[in-house]
Amino acid sequence: MPAPTTPSRKLDNDVLFKGVICALIGAIILLAPYFSRSSDVQDLMRQAYIVGWFALALGIAFLVQFAVRYKKRRELDAETANYLEQNTPRNKSKRRDK
Q: What local confidence, expressed as pLDDT, does residue 1 receive?
A: 41
Mean pLDDT by 10 residues, the chain (98 residues): 69 94 96 90 90 96 95 87 82 56
The model's pLDDT over 11-30, given as tens digits with 9 standing for 90+, comes to: 889 999 999 999 999 999 99
Rounded to an integer, what distance in angstroms lies between the CA atom of residue 87 and that of residue 19? 39
Q: Of 24, 86, 35, nearest to 60 (Cα)?
A: 24
Q: What local confidence, expressed as pLDDT, does residue 65 receive?
A: 96
